[in-house]
Structure 1
Amino acid sequence: MNDDTRDASGHDPDAKHDERGGRDVTTRDRIEHQPNPDERGTRLSAAIGLLGLWLVVQAVWLNPAPGRFWNAVLVGGALLAVGAYNFHRRANEEFGSAGVATFAALLGLWLVASPLLFGGESGTAAAAAGEVVVGLLAVGFGTYSAVAIRNRRKEADARSTATYDRTGQ
């Protein structure tokens, strides 16, 4: 049974409400959504980005074979972009993206496996060891970041998105 007896024509348009005197939306009428006010996770995202930067610098510095060089540059650039994206989101008081963090972990797995796939003759041992170390760190940071984002989203309050416009009251 619908017990809604409200009637819009019964509202007195001359009644005083909030005395703001215009049609502008005030800060009192807007509810801001800040799910991550402490900017948690920015250092973790920065670490993922720095791993990518290190991988690119290492590739240029050690000058491995072309296949390993481009692998390091492309994966390093992707890690840098992933870290920068989640850093930007978290620095703006939003949650990071769990999917992007998972992608960082997958890139780390690729780095761990790539020396086995490219073989021993396609670069220096230092480049291969560096890729494995960066890959293991990326797997750890990316996995931890994705799980932390997922848990924080579960614990967060429901998002308040309403903007109340009281000018017609």
Structure 2
Amino acid sequence: MDATTRLAAAGNCLLGCWLIVAAAVLAPSGIARWNDVLVGAAVAVLAGYNYVDVRDRRSPSAVGACLVAVLGGWLVVAPFVLGLGRAQPALWNDVAVGTVIASFGGYNAYVAAAADRPPSVRTTAE
């Protein structure tokens, strides 16, 4: 796989780790803290698995990449659903990190789906 796919998977893995650390650094309220820890751990594990696949010249897991994209989308809306106060650094951290995670996860899901297609149907995105 190409370097962009590897970079997107590695970036998501690092952002998942950042979410775990941010739960302690930014000190959001109780449920928001656990949300960041659990989502960060899931993103780090799934993205790390995809990074290892891409590093070993295999296509990333489409299911894993889709789950990462969905978790990123959840991070964008979670502060509002969970009632995190307005203008808190933790709120904007979740929105920004969630947007990037969803974007990188969506890209990896697209690449994984394209790699699973037969050569006659593949697009130029590879």
Same-fold call, TM > 0.5?
A: yes
- Larger radius of gyration, structure 1 or 2? 1
**Contact (CA 8 Å) 2:32, 2:84: kept in 1 or not?**
no
> Within 5 A, what are the aligned runs for 1:65-84?
65-84=29-48
Q: How many positions carry a matched residue from both structures?
A: 120
Q: Runs of 4 or more off by more than 6 Å in structure 1? A: none
Shift in alpha-carbon separation, 1:92–1:40, aligned structure 2, 3 A: farther
**Contact (CA 8 Å) 1:39, 1:94: kept in 2 or not?**
no
RMSD of equivalent CA atoms: 2.1
Pick the structure with more helix per residue. 2
> Within 5 A, what are the aligned runs for 1:126-141?
126-141=89-104
Shift in alpha-carbon separation, 1:40–1:152, aligned structure 2, 3 A: farther
**How much identity, in percent, do the aligned residues show?**
32
- Alignment gaps of 5+ in structure 1: 1-35, 158-169
- Alignment gaps of 5+ in structure 2: 121-126
Q: 1:59 aligns with which of 1, 16, 23?
A: 23
The reply on whether 1:145 has 2:112 as its aligned counterpart is no
The one-letter code matched in structure 1 to 2:114 is N
Shift in alpha-carbon separation, 1:39–1:155, aligned structure 2, 3 A: farther
Q: TM-score, normalised by structure 1?
A: 0.65
Question: 1:130 offset after TM fit, Å?
Answer: 0.2
